[in-house]
Structure 1
Amino acid sequence: MGNDMHDQTMMFRAKQDDIVAASDILHTVYGALKEKGYNPINQVVGYLLSGDPAYITSHRNARSLIRRLERDDLLEELVRFYLEGHPSQSELK
């Protein structure tokens, strides 16, 4: 019961190059979706949840770009950006 692998926390570390690439790709995809008249947030969420690249336009090579990275890398970049850019209520006090 004590040494079960499910009880241990795994460490995950992204390389700095992966972080930059994910950020650049997300910005490019966002711009391409917006240019084509889509709601970029909804489309990216649809892609991240389903893995279906049809949510991303091929305009400006966005579909090909977003598929260069694993969805977990994209999610990590989104979580990092949000949490590092938005202090919690307790940090504001």
Structure 2
Amino acid sequence: MDQNKDFTVKFELERDRSEEIKQIVQVVYTALTEKGYKPVEQIVGYIMSGDPTFITSHLNARNAIKKVDRDELLEEFVKVYFDHLK
């Protein structure tokens, strides 16, 4: 019997959601702009607090942004930021 089977293997699916997240952020940005909000401030408020009321329901933006974990949003923003530094 194989002695190495006495441990737990961690299985993770690598799924690149970058394009999906970018599309959602674009919808949210457009909706916030159309309603007269400052998109950067509203999105930062949402990421920091987790309170979806920072995002307007216009264009279904609030429901769209809730499909993405806040840490995924932050990760995507940081990736894009550093990509632009190159």
- TM > 0.5 fold call: yes
**1:47 partnered with 2:46:** yes
Structure 1 residue runs of 5 or longer lacking an equivalent are: 1-12, 88-93
- Structure 1 residues 83 and 14: CA distance shift in structure 2, 3 A: farther
Q: Hey, what's the Cα distance between the residues in 1 that align with 2:67 and 2:58?
A: 16
Q: Hey, what's the Cα distance between the residues in 2 that align with 1:23 and 1:79?
A: 13
**1:57 partnered with 2:56:** yes
Greater radius of gyration (CA)? 2
Letter in 2 for 1:75: L
Moved over 3 A (4+): none
For 1:34, the equivalent position in structure 2 comes to 33
- Structure 1 residues 14 and 86: CA distance shift in structure 2, 3 A: farther
**1:77 partnered with 2:49:** no
TM-score, reference length from structure 1: 0.75
Helix, strand or coil: the match of 1:37? Answer: coil
Count of aligned pairs between the two proteins: 75
Helix, strand or coil: the match of 1:15? Answer: coil
Structure 2 residue runs of 5 or longer lacking an equivalent are: 1-12
Could you say what the CA RMSD is over the residues aligned between the two structures, in angstroms?
Answer: 1.6
Q: Quote the offset at 1:14 in angstroms.
A: 5.5
TM-score, reference length from structure 2: 0.81
Letter in 1 for 2:21: A
Helix, strand or coil: the match of 1:69? Answer: coil
